[in-house]
Chain A
Amino acid sequence: MIQLEAPFTEEKIRALKQGDEVEITGVLFTGRDAAHKYLHEGGALPDGMSLQDKIIYHCGPVVIKDEEGNWKVVAAGPTTSAREEPYQGDIIKQFGLRAVIGKGGMGERTLKACKEFGCVYLHAVGGAAQVLSTHIQRVKNVYFLEEFGSPEAMWELEVVKFPVLVTMDSHGHSLHKEILEASTNEFNRLVK
């Protein structure tokens, strides 16, 4: 198990290979459809917020306020990444992201941007909302809460040993492509 700790640098990201199991400790920003569309259309980040060398997590977390008024994440599983494919490559380029976390994998444009700009796609286990929420230590901040609503807002989360798998690395390798090829070959044999 590889430990990936903040600060996330290009060097650390380039060292990751497809198939590596990684535990992340540091800060993540959640972002899904509204955030990707907004950033892609040239929307600006609020003052003091930067995605440079940061991680975006395709997730609409369930966040509640406890009795003392602190935010608490109660469920935080990944959502399907493919919906962000039209935007992701450009956002990696423009904002200097180092990693994208989601589920289901992404396409050629994102893979190309990962290679060109030093970024990786990390896969979290779909549906594992409870296990993943135990790795979220606290909510550091939230952006665009008013504009996008709670699940679509960009939550800045502090995570500890958040478990993911590198399925698309910064060298052009995609586990999704490999498994698709291998399973297609076996399928062709089975239906021949």
Chain B
Amino acid sequence: MLMRNLDASLLELVRRTSAELPEDIKRVIDQSLQREKRGSVAWNTLSIIEKNIQLAKERSLPICQDTGTCLFYIDCPVGLDQIAFAQSDRAAIKEATVNGDLRQKSVYSLTGKNSGTNLGPGAPVFHFRQHASSELKVSLMLKGGGCENVGQQYSLPMESLQANRDLEGCRKVILDSVLKAQGRGCGPGVLGVCIGGDRATGYEHSKEQLLRKLDDTNPNPQLAEMEERILQEANQMGIGAMGYGGEVTLLGVKIGALNRLPASYFVSVSYMCWAFRRLGISLNDNGEIQSWLY
């Protein structure tokens, strides 16, 4: 039997994730606004974005009308009934959709018919990760279609960019993904990157990088340096908020690495828009929210 208050807690997680941005993201958007020239197009655009974030929170309405893909990341102790837990998550998504906290955004691929509930094959997405602790943590990310469409996966070497199978080659293709995205991913955005893995785990791990707080430091010094450098160089490209031009093209870059086969060298990039909806909760034994993770 699952925890008594779980349903209410999950519903609150979904509602808040749709209506409120996490503090780490808001802080960097605020800093970005300070970096743009007052009264410039970029400044005005970021001001509209800030106002939108504020209004959505006040009214408890979706920040963006594209609910996007609902991705659950669940860190659970050994022994959690994952089947029942996933069912509770689905119920929360469905109820939040009925309540208007989520828009109806899940369609059957072959017919184009909207399920009306945001549920269906592969929706929502679940990642259960067992850990050797009694803590139960649930994070939810809502990732819109505009930014999902500008993600890229590269296979190195890539002759056209003279990108070899080394960190310099990775830097080139990651910057290429920023160039290709222009403002279409609703920038300024955040890059989640995975070096290595196979085609599926590469993308998966690149999205997991987006669970990291923007102000954390990568434990791998090489990757930490690369994150800093790419952030700075991407901003030099001057694409700016919504691609209108400006000082701030990206809010952050997060890079991870997985083992690969000797024959493969993938670099997978997931772009997350400024409407970076990602919150998480830690639950107690009764299923009550003990703390918020972001």
Query: A residues bordering B, Cβ < 8 Å?
Result: 19, 21, 60-62, 64, 74-77, 80, 82, 103-105, 123, 125-131, 134, 163, 165, 167, 175-176, 178-180, 182-184, 186-187, 190-191
Contacts and interface: CB of A to CB of B under 8 A. Distances in A.
B274 A183 contact: no
Contact of A129 (B45, B64, B179): B64
Contacts of B175: 187, 190-191
B182 A128 contact: no
14 contacts: A21-B41, A62-B65, A77-B65, A77-B66, A105-B183, A126-B273, A127-B64, A128-B52, A130-B52, A130-B62, A131-B55, A178-B245, A183-B179, A190-B233
Interface in B34-62: 41, 44-45, 48-49, 51-52, 55-56, 59, 61-62
Given A75-B61, A75-B62, A127-B274, 12 more contacts: A82-B184, A105-B183, A125-B49, A126-B186, A127-B52, A128-B64, A129-B61, A129-B64, A179-B245, A183-B237, A187-B176, A191-B175
Interface of B: 41, 44-45, 48-49, 51-52, 55-56, 59, 61-66, 100, 103, 144, 146, 149, 161-162, 171-172, 175-176, 179, 182-184, 186, 233, 236-240, 242-245, 273-275
Contact of B244 (A179, A190, A191): A179
B238 A104 contact: no
B243 to A, nearest CB: 6
Contacts of A134: 55
B238 A131 contact: no
A129 B245 CA distance: 22
A153 to B, nearest CB: 15
A123 B244 contact: yes
Contact of A187 (B56, B103, B146, B237): B237
A179 B242 CA distance: 11
Nearest 3 Cβ contacts at the A-B interface: A126-B186, A75-B65, A127-B64
A1 to B, nearest CB: 9
Given A129-B62, A129-B65, A179-B243, A186 B238 contact: yes
Nearest to A104: B184
A179 B182 contact: yes
Contacts of A182: 238, 245
